[in-house]
């Protein structure tokens, strides 16, 4: 994993090298924040550079400041009663695509560009749902209505608790009227 991250950093021309200053060269540096936390959607979705293990499934939304469907998703998380209730079982995080910085995701240091490449994020919103151990269970590019997003989040909770197997997703969606 670290080799992939280093390769991704080198490939994008970004460097986290202390030797750049010694070599008297000017290379772009990755900007970091001091683990500042900003919250959205009624203090539900956190924007922070550190996403720790907490024992809950993890909801990560990649977004941009100008994305109207990202704002709608944050609004839905805060205001829709069903989605809000389901979201209580998750740690919710926001990663802005338009604010490059470094992150610590489940104990691993990485960059925004590496995360975008790892999850193949091309559109926003782009929601990544991880189980409580950090394994990706679902990825949802684009906006989903609260009922759809809530059912998908319930499935992820079920996989995390052992109620469902990841391979049963089609049956689950069919049973819940989503396909």
Classify 28 as helix, strand or coil: coil
Which segments of 65-124 does DSSP mark as H helices, in order?
A: 68-79, 81-87, 112-119
Task: Please state, for a pLDDT cut of 90, what percent of the chain lies above it.
Answer: 73
| pLDDT tens per residue, range 45-69 | 888 899 999 999 999 999 999 999 9
52 vs 36, more confident:
52
The pLDDT, as a whole number, for residue 96 is 96
Looking at residues 131-152, what average pLDDT do you find? 97
| pLDDT tens per residue, range 143-175 | 999 999 999 999 999 999 999 999 999 999 999
Q: Is 147 exposed, middle or buried (0-12, 13-18, 19+ CB in 10 A)?
A: middle
Confidence (pTM): 0.76
Residue 75: phi and psi, rounded to 5, are -60, -45
CATH of 31-175, one of 2.60.15.10, 3.40.190.10, 3.30.420.40, 3.40.30.10: 3.40.30.10
Domain ranges of the chain: 31-175
């Amino acid at each position: 994993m670290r080799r992939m991250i280093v390769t991704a950093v080198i490939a994008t021309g970004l460097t986290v090298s202390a030797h750049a200053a010694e070599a008297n060269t000017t290379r772009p540096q990755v900007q970091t924040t001091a683990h500042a936390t900003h919250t959205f959607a009624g203090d539900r979705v956190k924007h922070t550079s550190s996403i720790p293990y907490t024992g809950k499934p993890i909801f990560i939304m990649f977004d941009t400041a100008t994305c109207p469907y990202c704002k709608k998703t944050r609004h839905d998380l805060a205001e829709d009663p069903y989605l809000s209730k389901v979201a209580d079982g998750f740690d919710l995080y926001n990663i802005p695509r338009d604010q490059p910085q470094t992150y610590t995701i489940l104990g691993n240091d990485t960059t925004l560009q590496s995360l975008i490449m790892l999850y193949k994020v091309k559109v926003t919103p782009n929601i990544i749902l991880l189980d409580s151990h950090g394994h990706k269970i679902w990825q949802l590019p684009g906006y989903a209505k609260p009922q759809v997003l809530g059912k998908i989040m319930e499935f992820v909770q079920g996989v995390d608790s052992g109620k469902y197997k990841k391979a049963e997703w089609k049956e689950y969606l069919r049973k819940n009227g989503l396909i």
